[in-house]
A = this chain, B = another copy of it.
C-alpha cells in the first residue's frame, strides 16, 4: 500500500526527501551549527513526516472508497478499518 503506481511514486518521493533532510541535519550538526537553525531543520523534518502520514492515509482512503464496495459488509469493514486508522494516528 498504496497500490497504484502514481500513489506509490508520490509517497516514495516524500520518504526520500525526508531521508535527504536527515542527511542535511547530520552534516549541519557535525559542522557545529547553532541550536536555532538545528531546531528549524528538525521542525521541517517533523512537518514532512506529518505530511507523509497524511499522504498515506489520504491514498488509502482514495483506494478504499474511490470505488463502490462489493456489498454492505465490505463497506462496513472498510469504514471500521479507516476510522481505526484515524483514531490511531491523529495525534
Contacts and interface: CB of A to CB of B under 8 A. Distances in A.
B38 A56 contact: yes
B52 A42 contact: yes
Interface range, A side: 35 or more
Contacts of A3: 32
Copies of this chain per assembly: 4
A91 to B, nearest CB: 5
A86 B58 contact: yes
A25 B60 CA distance: 16
Contacts of A6: none
A69 B69 CA distance: 10
Interface string A29-61: 110111110110011011101101110111011
